[in-house]
Structure 1
Amino acid sequence: MHFEWASTYGHVLLQGLLITIELLLLSGFFGFLLALLVGFGRLSKQPVIAWLSLSFTNLIRGTPLLVQIYVLYYGVGSLFVGFPAVRDSFLWPYLREGFWYVVVALTLSVGGYVGEVIKGGLRGVPKGELEAARALGMSRLLMIRRIWLPRAIQILLPSLAGESVGLLKSTALASTVAVMDVLGAANLVRAQTFRTYEPLLVIAITYLVLALLIERVFRRLELRIPVRGAL
């Protein structure tokens, strides 16, 4: 095995790594916010909200992520091309880049999958803690902020760690729509150097290290968050 190409293409892989991390952080942040809405929506007593939340999760979980990316990039993206007003707007530099379509697709994916996880965590919070909060005169929003949601997240930290690692691996699909993430950078190196295995080996190790870092962060969070409720 030969790695002499690393000195020439190292900066390409580094740029790809930064894009992968950006995809992970942006879609993870916005996806988690969407997942909160979906999770609470699934428990809503309003039939319309509960139905919309269930339909969203069924759609996202029932279709492949790659298909969702293609629909957004080749479908929605091509619609924007047909409108001169859009092409002349300040949004066009973003709408013509595959990066943002991947961010949206990953955000929706996180919202669908993690939303169901959060729903389970919310149901897993002991009812006694919620009743105690009501007895103290807390409003529903205050109870959610101080008791219900923190306890649910505490319960779900191991599951959220797994979902975050899964999201990391899902970012590899970005290369299918011309986004130069770390896998796309590896494919470029393979095409230009005719080295088949070495770039893939480097990328595999890179993903492994990132996954271990994610698990370590969540493990530290588990140790820092107190076991008792946040009264």
Structure 2
Amino acid sequence: MSPVEILVQYWPRLLDGTLMTIKLTLLGALIAAAVSPVFALVRVHAAPMAQAPLRIYVSFMRGTPILAQLFLIFYGSGQFRPLLQEWGLWSFFRDPFNCALLAFALNSTAYQTEILRGGVLGVPRGEIEAAKAIGLSRLKTLRRVVFPHAYRIAWPALGNEVILLMKASALASVVTVFDLMGRTRQVFSKTFDFSVYLWAALIYLCITAIFVLLWRQAERRLSRHIGTRNTPQATAQPLKETRA
């Protein structure tokens, strides 16, 4: 069976896996995006003792493999089944998709928190003082001055994080969540044709290319009110992998 015939015969399965990969990536990134701004502010402004639990969490999530985190949540939750049933949480943790999503969201939150922390620290102090001088409240200063500037600084790095999260989602197949890589392995087990992995790689490449295009368009919109010479250097950097 030729590579083209493989694609024609099994494209519904590959499409299903692709949609699962996109779903895991987007949901995980959006959950992290909703939480990380608050955590970033804690990392910047809170007292060292108040930061300690958050710093331990960030260090753990960034310092351990995401596969280990996925196993801890998926298999580890089974060790606490009676307690989770008592709390009404077992129906959540018994679903492999929920466990995978939780692992990816927790991991991405740690990375996005540190990326945004750098963005917040990069906001010029003069802008914050100017906001105070015209009578803006602390909340309005954050919403209208600090975070818009911080996101412009952090935007390329946040894009890198989403791309890396999408590629890490291939690990979900080890806990029976059939994303693109999981479906690819299923097809290979039936055909023993290595070309199916080439198709999977091309699909990942297409997803990444489309995402980079959309992300750069969003970056231009974020920076449309400022000149190129005033744009932070970070916004001019191309998307590239940043994790060690």
In 1, Cα distance between the equivalents of 2:165 and 2:15?
A: 20
Contact 2:3–2:195 (8 Å) recurs in 1: yes
In the other structure, the counterpart of 1:67 is: 68
Does the residue aligned with 2:5 lie in a helix, a strand or coil? coil
Aligned: 1:184 with 2:185: no
Distance 1:38 1:90, change over 3 A: closer
Distance 1:124 1:90, change over 3 A: closer
Query: Deviations 1:97-137 (Å, cap 9, x if unpaired)?
Result: 21111111111111111111110000001111111111111
In the other structure, the counterpart of 1:55 is: 56
Aligned: 1:42 with 2:43: yes
In the other structure, the counterpart of 2:148 is: 150
Task: Give the residue type in structure 1 aligned to 2:3.
Answer: H
Percent identity reads 32
Count of matched residue positions in the alignment of Structure 1 and Structure 2: 225
Task: Give the residue type in structure 2 aligned to 1:25.
Answer: L
In the other structure, the counterpart of 1:96 is: 94
In the other structure, the counterpart of 2:157 is: 159
In 2, Cα distance between the equivalents of 1:119 and 1:144?
A: 13
Contact 1:31–1:111 (8 Å) recurs in 2: yes
Query: Deviations 1:171-211 (Å, cap 9, x if unpaired)?
Result: 1110111110000000000001111x211101101111111
Task: Give the residue type in structure 1 aligned to 2:65.
Answer: P
Task: Give the residue type in structure 2 aligned to 1:202.
Answer: W
In the other structure, the counterpart of 1:216 is: 213
Contact 1:3–1:198 (8 Å) recurs in 2: no
Task: Give the residue type in structure 1 aligned to 2:197.
Answer: L
In 2, Cα distance between the equivalents of 1:49 and 1:109?
A: 21
Contact 2:17–2:182 (8 Å) recurs in 1: yes
Does the residue aligned with 1:3 lie in a helix, a strand or coil? helix
What is the CA-CA distance between 1:10 and the residue it aligns to? 1.4
* Structure 1, unaligned runs of 5 or more: none
In the other structure, the counterpart of 1:10 is: 11
* Structure 2, unaligned runs of 5 or more: 231-244
What is the CA-CA distance between 1:86 and the residue it aligns to? 5.9
Two-structure CA RMSD over aligned residues (Å): 2.0
In 1, Cα distance between the equivalents of 2:76 and 2:90?
A: 17
In 1, Cα distance between the equivalents of 2:120 and 2:84?
A: 46
Task: Give the residue type in structure 2 aligned to 1:123.
Answer: L
Contact 1:42–1:49 (8 Å) recurs in 2: no
In 1, Cα distance between the equivalents of 2:10 and 2:25?
A: 23
The TM-score normalised by the length of structure 1 is 0.90
What is the CA-CA distance between 1:217 and the residue it aligns to? 1.2
